Amino acid sequence: MPATVIVGTQWGDEGKGKITDVFADRADFVVRYQGGNNAGHTIIIGDERFALTLIPSGVLNPGVTPVIGNGTVIDPGVLLEEMATLESRGIDTSLLRVSANAHLIMPYHRKIDALQERYLGSGEIGTTKRGIGPAYTDKYGRHGIRVQDLFDPKIFRDKLAVALKEKNKILVKLYNQLAMDAEEIAAEYLEYGARLTDHVTDTSLLLADALAADKNVLFEGAQGTLLDIDHGTYPFVTSSNPTAGGAAVGSGIGPTALDRIVGVTKAYISRVGSGPFPTELTDEVGATMVEVGGEFGTVTGRRRRCGWLDAVALRYATRVNGLTEIALTKIDVLSEFDTLKICVGYEADGIRFEEMPRQQRVLYQCEPIYEELPGWKQDIGDARSMDDLPPAAREYIERVEKLAGVPVTMVSVGPQRRATLSR
Ligand code: GDP
Ligand code: IMO
Ligand code: MG
């Protein structure tokens, strides 16, 4: 702290929620800067399990102000529902602050997301169908509708009418669907606006004031580096910038304020949805990772594809995020295996790649070059300090850190807060 970014180094689901929750102990503000309710962050506190999609994980720490920044896309109905669910479980959401500049996910975005996927057939991205891509498309096309528009019924209706003129043509003529009714949407959304009004503010100013007052601000990335629209495995990515630079743009603070960038890295790697995955395992080793790691999506319940840690991708994540350190998660899952593998390069057409190849097709065609390390074959879930870990586990961590080029400062051996070792 004072301004720390938590970012996923893989294709999401690295355990960012858990690591954010651990850091949030010392935070005053926890900020989401991109994405929307495509994220699924699971946090276990005692016997309770929380699955957050849009509200920053910091909401679970009393006294923390959770902030949803300008770079996000917000489905207001989902947001209100998530707030109500938390309230019903005794979690106070009154401090939540939402950027007036964030864009809204509209009902036609959800619909078009699903229809586009169907249209792509076997080329589908495997999106979460939450309307994320279409909402960002409208933002960058400069005909999005923003949170602040909810407080001006005339402007909201005008913008909606313009949007629907185009969307209804797309729905009816291209996809053979029913047209959507402007007044129905306006009534629904303006009511959401009335319920959210006390939470909406200039979050850029709020965070600038917080940093000026030496408050601790934590930025919680959603998705991960390889799902970044610029730096990920395009087009099999999400439509925002999860990478650390996105924290500045997506929250309205200058990049000079960011001083610690923590990359959350799972000790193996997973991916939901389509796209290249060099170290993917379709054998029983992969199946064991799914089973022992509980690798099923928080949002859509889909089975995650799993494979060995990819150090080429990790080094890449270190570079594009400017990582200062790594939090290595779910290392307890590796206790199952006699021998562990880490991918240290790719080989395709007799060429060895130690950096992300220029041409993405290499990721489909390559053979991973693996380094083998001994497993430890004993339960490490109860470890509470590095000294409790068997030598082979420590060796694995040291190897990851060497390959990544930045120190591993935190190791997670279980989903609970206390199952976190600092180094
Ligand atoms: P996120 O999207 O990056 O926040 O990650 P998810 O919450 O989608 O997925 C991570 C899953 O692993 C969650 O179910 C966590 O409770 C769980 N988890 C986090 N850290 C650990 C760990 O160190 N060990 C184990 N076994 N589970 C963990
Ligand atoms: P967290 O924050 C894993 C994936 C989807 C799909 C692609 C595009 O929990 O790590 P989208 O709906 O964003 O247009 O889908 O991105 N995806 C995620 N995968 N974890 C996530 O979030 C994801 N959010 C989106 O599966 O492949
Ligand atoms: Mg997740």
What CATH code is carried by the domain that includes residue 371? 3.90.170.10
- The reported pLDDT for the residue numbered 64 is 97
299, pLDDT greater than 90: no
1, pLDDT greater than 90: no
How far does the centroid of ligand 2 lie from the alpha carbon of residue 1, in Å?
27
Same domain for 107 and 189, yes or no, is yes
Domain boundary among 196, 229, 246: 196
Same domain for 258 and 272, yes or no, is no
Count of structural domains, the chain: 3
Confidence of residue 300 (pLDDT cuts 50, 70, 90): confident
Which of 18, 128, 300, 329 for a ligand 1 pocket mutation test, highest count of atoms within 8 Å of Cβ?
A: 18
Give the ligand whose atoms come closest to the C-alpha of residue 20: 1
Confidence of residue 406 (pLDDT cuts 50, 70, 90): very high
How far does the centroid of ligand 1 lie from the alpha carbon of residue 283, in Å?
22
Note the pLDDT tens digit of each residue in 322-333: 999 999 999 999
Ligand 2 atom, smallest distance to 302 CA: 26
Confidence of residue 298 (pLDDT cuts 50, 70, 90): confident
CB of 8 within 6 A of ligand 1: the answer is yes
Same domain for 325 and 401, yes or no, is yes
For ligand 1, atom 2, the nearest C-alpha belongs to: 13
Q: Which CATH number do you get for residue 212?
A: 3.40.440.10
Same domain for 241 and 291, yes or no, is no
Give the ligand whose atoms come closest to the C-alpha of residue 224: 2
Same domain for 283 and 395, yes or no, is yes
Same domain for 361 and 221, yes or no, is no
Ligand 1 atom, smallest distance to 39 CA: 2
Which of 128, 129, 130 for a ligand 2 pocket mutation test, highest count of atoms within 8 Å of Cβ?
A: 128
Mean per-residue pLDDT for 64-70? 98
Ligand 1 atom, smallest distance to 329 CA: 23
Same domain for 118 and 62, yes or no, is no
CB of 412 within 6 A of ligand 1: the answer is yes
- The reported pLDDT for the residue numbered 10 is 98
Domain boundary among 221, 242, 262: 262
Same domain for 92 and 123, yes or no, is no
Confidence of residue 216 (pLDDT cuts 50, 70, 90): very high
Which of 72, 116, 127 for a ligand 2 pocket mutation test, highest count of atoms within 8 Å of Cβ?
A: 127
Q: How confident is the prediction for the chain on average, in pLDDT?
A: 97
Same domain for 408 and 315, yes or no, is yes
420, pLDDT greater than 90: yes
Same domain for 401 and 286, yes or no, is yes
Three-state secondary structure string covering the chain: CCEEEEEECCCCCCCHHHHHHHHHCCCCEEEECCECCCCCEEEEECCEEEEECCCCHHHHCCCCEEEECCCEEECHHHHHHHHHHHHHCCCCCCCCEEECCCEECCHHHHHHHHHHHHHHHHHCCCCCCCCHHHHHHHHHCCCCCEHHHHHCHHHHHHHHHHHHHHHHHHHHHHCCCCCCCHHHHHHHHHHHHHHHHHHEECHHHHHHHHHHCCCCEEEECCCCHHHCCCCCCCCCCCCCCCCCHHHHHCCCCCHHHCCEEEEEEECEEEECCCCCCCCECCCHHHHHHHHHHCCECCCCCCECEEEEEEHHHHHHHHHHHCCCEEEEECHHHHHHCCEEEEEEEEEECCEEECCCCCCCHHHHHCEEEEEEEECCCCCCCCCCCHHHCCHHHHHHHHHHHHHHCCCEEEEECCCECCCEEEC
Same domain for 360 and 296, yes or no, is yes
Domain range enclosing 135:
103-196
Q: What is the pTM of this model?
A: 0.97
Mean per-residue pLDDT for 382-398? 98
- The reported pLDDT for the residue numbered 319 is 98
Domain boundary among 196, 218, 251: 196
How far does the centroid of ligand 3 lie from the alpha carbon of residue 151, in Å?
32
Same domain for 295 and 392, yes or no, is yes
Range in 24-28, 205-209, 299-303, 414-418 the model is least confident about: 299-303
Mean per-residue pLDDT for 193-214? 98
Q: Which CATH number do you get for residue 157?
A: 1.10.300.10
